[in-house]
Each structure stands twice: as C-alpha cells, then as structure tokens.
C-alpha cells in the first residue's frame, strides 16, 4: 500500500486558527485486467497485490476456475491472466475507487448453492471484524481505505488486505487465499464496507460460506445470498451483529 505525506493547512473554525502541517494520503492507479490479452475489467486500485486482485476478480467473477490459470503477467498498468481454456463469455466491468460500477453483462453465479456446514461463534465474528481497524496501519493513518480479512472458524487470520475500494480489497484477499491454496469452504470473510451483490456472487463462486461487515448490506445482496446459500451478516460492532441470510452458520 503506497501512502504519501503532503503539506496541508488545518483550519480550526472554533479557535480561528490556521496551522501548517502534514497529512497522509493514499495513492491509486488504473489497471486493466486481461484474460489472454482481452480486457475484462478496468479498475482503480491501490498499487499493491495486483496479481491477487486479478486472480480474485476472474475466479470470483466466474470467468475462470483457478486450475484454468496457467500464468499471470503483471505490467505497469495491466495484469494479464493466461489460460489455455477458451473463454466463451467475457464480462467487461469498469470500476472506480468510489465503487461505482457499469455492467455490460450480468455477473452470474456459476458454482451452485453453497452447502458448507461451517459454524462460527458470534464472538469470533465480532473479534474478526474489529481487527479490520485495529490491525490496518494505512486505515489508522489515513481513514481513506477499505479492508477485507479472511479468517478460520476459530478466528485465526489467513489474510488481511487494504485498498481504496472495498471491492478490490475483497478480490485481493480472495485472490491471495486462492493462490496460497486455502480451503475457502472452512473460512469466512470480514469486510469494512457495505456487502454488495457482486461480493455475494464471488463468495458463492469460490465457496466462501460467510461474509460479515461492520457496515450494512444492500438488498439485492440479501436476495442473492438467500438463493446461493451464503450467510450475510451486517452491523458487526459493539458486541452485536445482524444476520440477513442463513443464520444457521452463526453460533451463540
């Protein structure tokens, strides 16, 4: 994660004071995600873990299975995912760091309903979500990034990622886990931002049974989660949480 210290002026309206100081800001960069040199996405992302971003995006998006990937070539502003498998449907998705999206075609869940029997204590989920702030240095310095973490049912951390976009953070932590060979059916994801429909679809495609957020859930995400068998949890803060879909995986 690249952060830059810039000179700024801090104005205190109540005290009527202006102070010269320095403030940390995050950087971002546009990347083309390609499959066999064909663009599938243009994203604005923090300039780190770009390989993981691309893998998480194409596997989570149902474009490729992990075993179909024969290589990943990272350039200055491009990430080319190589495969010998013909790609019949290419989804081109332009995404900016403000998380606005334009879909040329719908992202579709391709891996069926999740039937994982994973159960996680509510206390473990609360502690995991709290680590999205306590363990993230860039957020503490700037308050300008989102984070996503992958955890075991016991709360052990498998990966923790920060990015200017909540979608990118999700893709990066999933991509790292896929490349590291984790069994995602035994894990859950915690995110700092709203849970969206495409996060639920991607969780379904890679087999992650639970997504939890300290924020809330968008309605289409609940509908899709109910259909795909994904447990969706919001408002994880202050010792409580709200389960919007498939509460059977959360133990008291």
Cα–Cα distance measured from residue 229 to residue 106, given in angstroms and rounded to the nearest whole number = 19
> Domain residue spans in the chain?
120-251
Q: pTM for this structure?
A: 0.89
DSSP 21: E
Q: How many CB atoms lie within 10 A of CB 239?
A: 8
What is the CATH T-level fold of the domain 120-251, as seen in this structure?
Cytidine Deaminase; domain 2 (3.40.140)
Task: Supply the pLDDT for residue 139.
Answer: 84
CA end-to-end distance (rounded Å), the chain: 36
* Tens digits of residue pLDDT in 115-160: 999 999 999 999 999 999 888 888 888 888 999 999 999 999 999 9
Q: How confident is residue 111, by pLDDT bands cut at 50, 70 and 90?
A: low
> How far is C-alpha 91 from the chain's CA centre?
18
């Amino acid at each position: 994660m690249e952060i830059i210290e810039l000179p700024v002026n801090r104005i205190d309206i109540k005290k009527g004071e202006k102070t010269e100081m320095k403030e940390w800001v995050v950087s971002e960069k546009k990347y083309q995600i390609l499959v066999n040199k064909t663009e599938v996405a243009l994203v604005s992302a923090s300039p780190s873990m770009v390989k993981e971003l691309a893998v998480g995006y194409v596997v989570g998006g149902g474009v490729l299975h992990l075993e179909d990937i024969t290589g990943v070539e990272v350039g200055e502003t491009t990430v080319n995912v190589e495969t010998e498998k013909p790609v019949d449907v290419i989804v081109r998705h332009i995404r900016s760091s403000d998380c606005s999206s334009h879909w040329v075609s719908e992202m579709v869940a391709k891996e069926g309903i999740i039937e994982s029997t994973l159960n996680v204590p509510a206390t473990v989920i609360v502690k995991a979500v709290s680590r999205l702030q306590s363990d993230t240095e860039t957020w503490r310095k700037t308050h300008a990034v989102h984070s996503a973490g992958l955890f075991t049912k016991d709360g052990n951390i498998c990966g923790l990622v920060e990015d200017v976009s909540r979608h990118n953070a999700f893709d990066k932590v999933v991509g790292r886990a896929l490349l590291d060979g984790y069994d995602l059916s035994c894990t859950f994801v915690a995110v700092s931002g709203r849970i969206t429909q495409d996060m639920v679809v991607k969780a379904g495609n890679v087999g992650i049974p639970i997504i939890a957020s300290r924020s809330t859930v968008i309605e289409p995400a609940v509908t899709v989660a109910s259909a795909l068998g994904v447990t969706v949890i919001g408002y994880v803060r202050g010792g409580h949480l709200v389960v919007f879909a498939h509460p059977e995986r959360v133990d008291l």
